[in-house]
Structure 1
Amino acid sequence: MLKLIGLCVVAGLVVAAIAFPVVGGAGLLSNRASETVDQFSAELAQADPPLLTTITDSKGKPIAYLYDQDRELVDSAGISQNMKAAMVAIEDHRFEEHNGVDWKGTLRAVVKGVLGQRVEGGSSITQQYVKNYLAYVVAKTDVEREKASEVTAARKLREVRIALQLERTLSKDEILTRYLNVVPFGGQIYGIKSAARHFFDKLPKDLSVPEAAYLAGLVNKPSRLGTENPEEAKKRRDHVLKRMADTGALAKDAAQAQQLYRQFQEEPLNFANAKRRPNDCVSAENGQTNGYFCDYVVDYLAKLGFSKDKLKRGGYTIQTTLDQGANDAVKAAAEGEVSKTTDGIANAMAVVEPGKDKHRVRALGANRDYGNDKGKNQTSFNLPADVSRFGAGSIFKIFTAAAAMEEGKTGVNRTVNVPNTYTSSIYKNGGKAYTVKNASDGADSTMTLQSALAHSPNTGFVILEEQAGLNNVVDMSVRMGLRDSMQSVNRGGSKINPEAKDTSLRVAQDKWVKDNKVGSFTLGVTVVSVLELANVGATITSGGTWCPPTPIEKMTDRNGKPVELKEAACEQAIDAGLAGALAQGLSKDVTEGTAVNAARQAGWTRPMIGKTGTTQNHQSAGFLGATPNFSGAVLTFSDSPTPRTICDGNRPYLCSSGSFIYGGKVPARTWFEAMKPIHQGSETKSLPAAGSQYQ
């Protein structure tokens, strides 16, 4: 009697489900009471599920994948008939006969629900598509996913009413194809294309009957039937094969079907090629080397409105500007000079290709491998791209020279005063007079600005900073490339915090320097990004044109259509004649200046610009060098929790006394070791000439 009453109730509910709109429910269909089954099923028929995003190098070779669900779409022609037949045989053998609902199975399942029994089975493939769509496409949280998959009569009825309408919109083959593209296969593997690749390293169209049977059987029991449980997996596969034989999927002739079943049953499961697709930058292809670049791509796109969550679901293809050969050269040079196992010392490098329409980032690397295992000397802090904890030393004298020439205070061939000691009448040091000395003792003298840039006397650039105006020098650093660096604060790239007790953390670095009249700015005491330093060199060798250091060559959506990226426009940051004057002014560092030994050791012969830098306590040192072909910057710095001085012996080490590190040592040597192979085969170009007003 209870069953009879239950059936009557169910019959009424099903009729209501067909006749009336979808309202409320689990909150997954719509919050608008006016949305009908027709409207929702039409949206479902057109919607695409989450897809993985692929990041490639400049030649289109994948280097990383981002996904919540490892899924790629495949059309019907790309799926073997074996796979379709296996899925229908085990999940819904009356699929071609019903109108979206297997009424017999559904009524049996709903009656169990009415009687308080556990509801299992009874769903057609169309209903399962609806369920999986709600659970893995619409649902964004675990709570929503559980609601969409709840084993209740209410959920069965939701499936019924949507499935009936859906079959009026899509053909059977379209529904089956969509189902195979959405369904989970365990872990983060979704859809038949990713499943075929993961388990058998095949395309879905090439799956054999036993392989298709295994995947079909895996769908509803993925946690029990993976590669780690081959015996259970084979039993389930053989069960699917038996269903295929019994339903005529193997052959119309019953005897032949049974013969094929026994034949396929004897074939072993072969998971030899099973391989999980790497996910995220830490596990990128060659991730220890390419991870920094991948991380920069993700961060760069986030600033353009493409969050990481969006990338993980969007199915984009991102062709980057990464030159794999250049990146490998940078990694080899950085680690060659400072072993990854060196305690407390990081060695990071970035390479940018100059241009008037685009500044392409070609390489980002460091001695430390990219990763999360500190025990293996890995770090997930983006050493070459993020703002570091330290300054670049005298490299910042470039901005003082540029501002002074722009203000008409000097020219590249004009003499500047370089006394051995100088006390500023403008800048203060903690309320006291600001006195600066040159790195090496000597008599007061004068030299050309070109020689000053090569030999780097501190006093001469503090004097030029006074003449040009500190505000102009700071603004020049921003114009030429330190866009993010100068918007951070002077504590290792920390973000601005208006509530911080330390007032220096409340304002951007450029404002802090100006407000506090930090005369030592020209000596490179503020934190900086290695990548932005490299981009400064690209600005100079691009005729004064600044462009954002972009890692993106092109980006397409899931349909292969170009995605428009609203990147910052290139600017004529400084006059072309001034850029030429800087290039000429910086051309002597490798022939007579502080980097001459490193250049000679490398056998360097190309025209280039160069500038070394070392911070006061020798906790960091850097080198910026560029040709019209490529610009690169290196920063060697203490990355231990308690920074210490770095000494430079056969290999650099942390120290309290000894032969201290300088920009012309490890940083310059790293630059030349990387840039020689990077420049191999490229045209030797001359540096631009100085404008007459800047000579």
Structure 2
Amino acid sequence: MLRFENDPDRLRPAERDDLDPRTATVASAIERRRLRLRKMVLWSLVLLTVLFLVIVSWLATVAPPSQTARPIVPPRITFLASDGTLISRRGAITEKAVDVGILPAHVGNAFVAIEDRRFYHHYGLDPRGLMRAAWHDVRSGSAREGGSTITQQLAKLVYLNSDRSVGRKIREALIALWLERWLSKDQILSRYLSNAYFGDNVYGLRAAARHYFSKSPERLTVGEAALLAGLMKAPSRLAPNENLAGARARAALVSKAMLDAGFITPHQAAEATAHLRLKPAPEPKQATYFSDWAASAAMPPANAYAEQIVRTTLDARLQRLAETAVGQVRLPGAQVALVAMRPDGKVVAMVGGRNYAASSFNRATQARRQPGSTFKLFVYLAAVRAGMTPNDLVEDRPIVIGSWSPRNADGQYLGPITLREAFARSSNVAAVRLTQRVGPEAVSQAARDLGIRSPLNPDPGIALGTSGVTLLELAGSYAAVAHGAYPIRPYGLALASPERSARTEETTFSDADRATLLDLLSTTVNSGTARGAALTTQVYGKTGTSQDNRDALFVGFAGGLVTAVWIGRDDNRPMPGIAGGGLPAHVWRTFMAGAIGAKPAPNKVPDTVDPDAGIDGIIHSVVGRLKSIFHF
């Protein structure tokens, strides 16, 4: 081997010093170049190591593999009546996770064939699929072609959103590689099938099999598996209960893909969709207003796939009676709401409108309407707290407060009358005078004590129920009188629910105060404006009609059941002739007669008609009673 003695690379430093200056310069430049190269390699290794550690730390933080075993949506909640009767379901339709290891081979193969045929041969990314997707994207000028493997789809389902940005695709690819490192192929496919969306608010293969075919995924046929796998392309558009033709066409493509992949025989492919039939699971549609209200308190456990079963306080029999009573109202343009509860606040029936399908707005819990004279309960409670008794006198004559001149609806004034008679006749001016005597703040406080939470205006007009409240609040307030303690917090879940256990401490009425309120409420039914609600058992209640007959109410209790009825229009237009002592009292009596096993009291012209109804209402009421007496 030839050796050049003057080669600078082979000389010792001492020898280099003997070189001529030109040769020494060359040797120094070569040495510096080598040093820079070593540094670049070293820093590159350091940066790559840091980048690797950063990526691993990010993946470990944002994409823990264990998260793929958790549901991506809250589970559906099934509501049961107190006797276990199914009343409704709410939320996404989910079931427990599936395990491809115990599924028929054709079920998993259907998804692999159409979504990711090389699933078992790649490591999370499919270069062929990526190149095909890139080519389609270049040709179309937009990022529309998927090219995602099943592992990538699982990453997107669990950890990412559905935007089509390059950054999201890079994160998706990194997470897919990460999942392939920690999970087996069967685990990845199982968790993908357990989280995939199948249209019609259905998540997961088990839920889809039950929802569309009323069977478990272990019993799916080749055709049924093909149909479900076909939904992955566009689950909302292809949901078979809405687009069976589209779902069938897509299932045929899946069957062909399974045949091409060698997963099924030609005979199986031909038979796959020939006899494909849907058998959807029936969905209950009872007590929908009640379920909407109860759902807010029914929080499912975290990380739960399976449907959550919630037992409510609803009484199925009473709910049917309530819906029947409301359904008998034939008043064009008007809505009806009814809520019934036990004296302790346990809601047993609720109707929030005449047709849930037409309007899901719950007028029993969401609508704040003027309660009219039903609010006078709080006026008289404030008066009783101030030391007044049912036999004390109050002036039933016109009064002027500034520019406001409240009047009795029937235009009649009797002069000095007892509180008992004023309450039974629902005298407006008497209620205003009592409010003047005790102060609007005392009336407002009485309402607050009994459970009214809606905003109240503490002015003289509060006596006539000018502040909007919900029917549920009113029912709870009257339940407090029936219960003998306040406040009552209406609840719709079983006794073990957090809503029930969080109830505030109750204050007991004094015997005298409660006896006075019962005296007033019974007189109203026995000889006052609420005679239309009378039953063969003792009834306590109060009518209410807002200004211009825009709202008509009756709230009362008997036989351990408190019920409130409201009738009005959503557009707040007047209802001539409709007052609390008329149609609402009739709906209340119809419901209560069946609910507590009582009978309507014999028809009898009471000492008073409902003055809240006005002249038209009084004529309507009298004609109605004459019809009942003479049967014409």
Report the TM-score when normalising by structure 2.
0.73
1:128 paired to 2:117: no
| Amino acid of the structure 2 residue aligned with 1:212 | A
Determine helix, strand or coil for the equivalent of 1:587.
Answer: helix
User: Residues of 2 paired with 1:529 and 1:382: CA distance?
Assistant: 10
**Among 43, 66, 85, which residue is 2:109 paired with?**
85
Who is 2:9 aligned against? none
User: Are 1:646 and 2:576 an aligned pair?
Assistant: yes
Rate the CA distance shift 1:622–1:74 in 2: closer, same or farther, 3 A.
same
* Pair 1:195 & 2:208 matched: yes
The letter of the residue matching 1:126 is T
Distance 2:183 2:481 in 1: 59
How far off its partner does 1:196 sit?
Answer: 1.8
Q: Which residue does 1:330 correspond to in 2?
A: 322
The Cα shift of 1:155 comes to 6.1
- Aligned pair partner of 2:485 in 544, 547, 554: 544
Q: Give the counterpart letter for 2:448 in structure 1.
A: V
What is the CA-CA distance between 1:638 and the residue it aligns to? 4.3
Q: Higher Cα Rg: structure 1 or 2?
A: 2
- The residue number in structure 1 matching 2:466 is 525
Q: CA deviation at 1:471?
A: 1.4
Equivalents in 1 of 2:328, 2:239: separation in Å?
46
1:421 paired residue among 388, 397, 418: 397
Render the CA deviation track for 1:96-155: whole Å, top value 9, x for unaligned.
Answer: 565x33666467558859998989676543233223334xxx42xxxxx123xx5x6x76
Contact 2:552 2:568 in 1 (8 A): yes
Q: 1:337 to 1:260 in 2, by over 3 A?
A: closer
Question: What residue is the counterpart of 1:388 in the other structure?
Answer: 368
Quick check: 1:54–1:316 contact (8 Å CA) kept in 2? yes
- Are 2:245 and 1:228 aligned? yes
Query: Does the CA contact (< 8 Å) of 1:480 and 1:573 recur in 2?
Result: no
**For residue 582 of structure 1, what is the aligned residue in structure 2?**
517
Name 1:166's counterpart in structure 2: 179
**Superposition RMSD on alpha carbons, in Å?**
4.2
**Against the structure 1 CA distance between its residues 526 and 19, is the aligned structure 2 distance closer, same or farther, given a 3 Å change threshold?**
closer
Shift in Å, 1:542: 1.4
Following TM superposition, by how much is the alpha carbon of 1:539 offset from its aligned partner in structure 2, in angstroms?
Answer: 1.0
Query: What is the CA–CA distance in structure 1 between the aligned matches of 2:597 and 2:103, rounded to whole Å?
Result: 46
Provide the rounded CA distance (Å) in 2 between the counterparts of 1:401 and 1:184: 58
| Cross-structure match for 1:464 | 434
**Structure 2 partner of 1:501:** none
Residue aligning to 2:275: 268
The Cα offsets for residues 63-107 of structure 1, whole Å up to 9 and x where unpaired, read as: 14234xx54443328855442233334444554565x33666467
Counterpart residue type for residue 285 of structure 2? N
Is the Cα–Cα contact under 8 Å of residues 98 and 193 in structure 2 kept in the other structure? no
Q: Which amino acid aligns with 2:504?
A: C
| Paired residue secondary structure (2:467) | coil
Aligned partners of 1:481 and 1:38: how far apart in 2? 47
* d(CA) in 1 for partners of 2:412, 2:504: 43
**Displacement of 1:476:** 0.2
Partners of 1:596 and 1:42 in 2: CA distance: 69
* 1: CA distance, partners of 2:537 / 2:91: 40
Does structure 2 retain, via aligned residues, the 8 Å contact 1:42–1:166? yes
Residue type of the alignment partner of 1:544: A
What is the aligned counterpart of 1:20 among 52, 60, 67?
52
Q: 1:261 Cα shift?
A: 4.7
**Secondary structure, counterpart of 1:646 in structure 2:** coil
The answer to whether the Cα contact below 8 Å between 1:621 and 1:663 also exists between their aligned partners in 2 is yes
**Hey, what's the Cα distance between the residues in 1 that align with 2:149 and 2:50?**
16
Deviation for aligned residue 1:477: 1.2
Deviations 1:201-229, CA, capped at 9 Å, x for gaps: 32222212221133224323654695132
Shift of 1:566: 9.1
Aligned to 2:450: 480
Aligned to 1:185: 198
**Structure 2 residue 604 is matched with structure 1 residue 607:** no
8 A Cα contact 1:542 1:628, kept in partner: no
Quote the offset at 1:234 in angstroms: 4.6
Mapped partners of 1:189, 1:270: distance in 2: 18
Secondary structure in 2 matching 1:50: coil
Query: For residues 269-308 of structure 1, what are the alpha-carbon distances to aligned partners after superposition, in whole Å with 9 as ceiling and x for unaligned?
Result: 223x357x98xxxxxx437xx443344345x55xx9x89x
Q: 1:190 to 1:669 in 2, by over 3 A?
A: same
Change (3 A) 1:94 1:394: closer
Post-superposition shift, 1:465? 2.8
SS of 2:203's equivalent? coil
Tell me how far apart the structure 1 counterparts of residues 323 and 248 of structure 2 sit (CA, whole Å).
45
Distance 1:482 1:419 in 2: 28
Pick the aligned partner of 1:663 from 569, 580, 583: 580
Separation of aligned partners in 1, 2:374 and 2:514: 16
Q: 1:679 Cα shift?
A: 2.4
- Inter-CA distance 564–81: structure 2 relative to 1 (3 Å threshold): farther
- For residue 171 of structure 1, report the CA deviation from its aligned partner: 3.5
TM-aligned CA deviation for residue 544 of structure 1: 1.8
Q: Is the 8 A contact 1:78 1:204 kept in 2?
A: no
Q: Secondary structure at the match of 2:347?
A: strand
Distance 1:116 1:20, change over 3 A: farther
Q: Which has the higher helix share?
A: 2
Taking the aligned partners of 1:367 and 1:124, their CA distance within structure 2 comes to 49
- Structure 2 counterpart of 1:528, one-letter code: V
Cα drift, residue 671 of structure 1: 0.6
Equivalent-residue separation in structure 1 for 2:322 and 2:213 (angstroms): 36
The aligned amino acid for 1:417 is: L
Find 1:213's aligned residue among 226, 229, 232: 226
What does 1:22-41 align with in structure 2 at a 5 Å threshold? 35-37=58-60, 40-41=63-64
Give the count of matched residue pairs: 542
Structure 2 unmatched runs, 5+: 1-43, 599-632
Cα separation, partners in 2 of 1:365 and 1:65, compared to 1, 3 Å: same
Q: Does the 8 Å contact 2:196/2:204 carry over to 1? A: yes
Deviation at residue 673 of structure 1 after TM alignment: 0.9
Q: Deviation per CA, 1:34-75, whole angstroms, max 9, x where unpaired?
A: 5245762435445431134325142362514234xx544433
Checking the alignment, whether the CA contact within 8 Å between 2:322 and 2:349 is kept in structure 1 is yes
Q: Would the alpha carbon gap of residues 569 and 47 (structure 1) be closer, same or farther in structure 2, given more than 3 Å must change?
A: same
Q: Which of 573, 587, 594 is the equivalent residue of 2:529? A: 594
Distance 1:63 1:533 in 2: 26
Q: Does 1:678 align with 2:595?
A: yes
Q: Is the 8 A contact 1:17 1:157 kept in 2?
A: no
From the superposition, tell whether residues 260 and 637 of structure 1 become closer, same or farther in structure 2 (CA, over 3 Å). Answer: closer
Instruction: Give the Å deviation of 1:472.
Output: 0.8
After TM superposition, give the deviation of residue 665 of structure 1 in Å: 1.0
Give identity over the alignment, percent.
27
Give 3-state SS (helix, strand or coil) of 2:384's partner. Answer: helix
3-state SS of 1:453 partner: helix
Per-residue CA distance 1:342-378 (angstroms, 9 max, x = gap): 03x33322222221xxx2223332553234xxxxxx4
**Gapped regions of structure 1 (runs ≥ 5):** 1-11, 24-32, 140-144, 251-256, 279-284, 372-377, 488-508, 555-561, 648-660, 682-695
1:633 equivalent to 2:564? Answer yes
Q: 1-side partners of 2:199 and 2:427: how far apart? A: 64
Structure 2 residue identity aligned to 1:88 = V
Q: Which moved more, 1:378-387 or 1:316-325?
A: 316-325
The 2-side partners of 1:119 and 1:436 are apart by: 71
TM-score scaled by length of structure 1: 0.67
Q: Kindly indicate whether the alpha-carbon contact (under 8 Å) linking 1:439 and 1:457 is maintained by their aligned counterparts in 2.
A: no
8 Å Cα contact 1:50/1:315 also seen in 2:
no
2:411 maps to 1:407:
no
Q: Any conservation in 2 of the 1:543–1:580 contact (CA below 8 Å)?
A: no
Could you tell me which residue of structure 2 aligns to residue 286 of structure 1? 285
Structure 2 counterpart SS, 1:74: coil
Equivalent residue of 2:74, what SS?
coil
How many angstroms apart in 2 are the aligned matches of 1:90 and 1:232? 13
